Amino acid sequence: MSHWQWKKKKRPPVEYQLPAVDIEIAEVNDQLDRIDEALDKVKCKDKHITVGNHDEWLNSFVIENPYLPDYKFESALSLKERGYVVHPIGRYYKRGHLHFYHGHHFGGINHARTHLLATGANLIYGHWHDIMVYSIKHVDGRKAAWSIGCLKDLSDEANEWKQRRKHNWGHSVTYVDYFSNGDFSVHISEIISGRLTLFNEVINGNKKAQ
């Protein structure tokens, strides 16, 4: 579902519209359009979204303002129409022997270690924006937790709320290879200065290739 459809069909009556929120929803829909286009090219039909804290803000807003149901996260992005399975905030989605969720349950300096010790399960998550891996050998085998970074603008100008405090956030793309028995291999490809290597190919995401 494109951002045009949000503008023309999904928005509530004029007296209940929220222009600033509408702009952000339209931008997110644009990015989802790009993702869906790529997934369609590879004929991907099994699509999942794990709801995060920013997504849940929309749902909390609608709870307080029930006359604006179209602003729910799932509705605003037309996730069912797009073909996504939506996993509510905080719920772990298990695929094979690996779990996925947004990443906000546990924090701290060594949040990957904290996640692994608290859950006792193989886990991939985001939320903290940095790249971190921690593994441990249990009696039933090795387990690990992966924090897979982010794709947001990391500049001081785009994060004024941090008041120029430095951070350890990082850009990356992560994919998982699965074996037929549910075993898996996690691959984090870090993006450096807008470039990364993926499947032995250098991909340059800069507007002007260097």
In a domain, 117, yes or no: no
Question: Does residue 18 form part of some domain?
Answer: yes
Domain of residue 20 covers 1-89
Could you tell me the CA-to-CA distances from 26 to 5, 106, 124, 156, 163 in Å, in that order? 9, 31, 28, 25, 28
Stated pTM of the model: 0.87
| H-type alpha helices, 148-195 | none
Render each residue's pLDDT in the chain as its tens digit; 210 residues. Answer: 455 455 555 556 666 667 788 888 989 999 999 999 999 999 999 999 999 999 999 999 999 999 888 899 999 999 999 999 999 999 999 999 999 999 999 999 999 999 999 999 999 999 999 999 999 998 889 999 999 999 999 999 999 988 888 889 999 999 999 999 999 999 999 999 999 999 889 999 887 654
Would 65 be classed as within a structural domain? Answer: yes
Total domain count for the chain? 1
Whether 101 is in a domain gets the answer: no
Asked if the structure places residue 131 within a domain, the reply is no
Please check whether residue 61 lies inside any domain of the structure.
yes
Is residue 79, in this structure, part of any structural domain at all?
yes
Helix (H) or strand (E) holding 113: helix 111-119
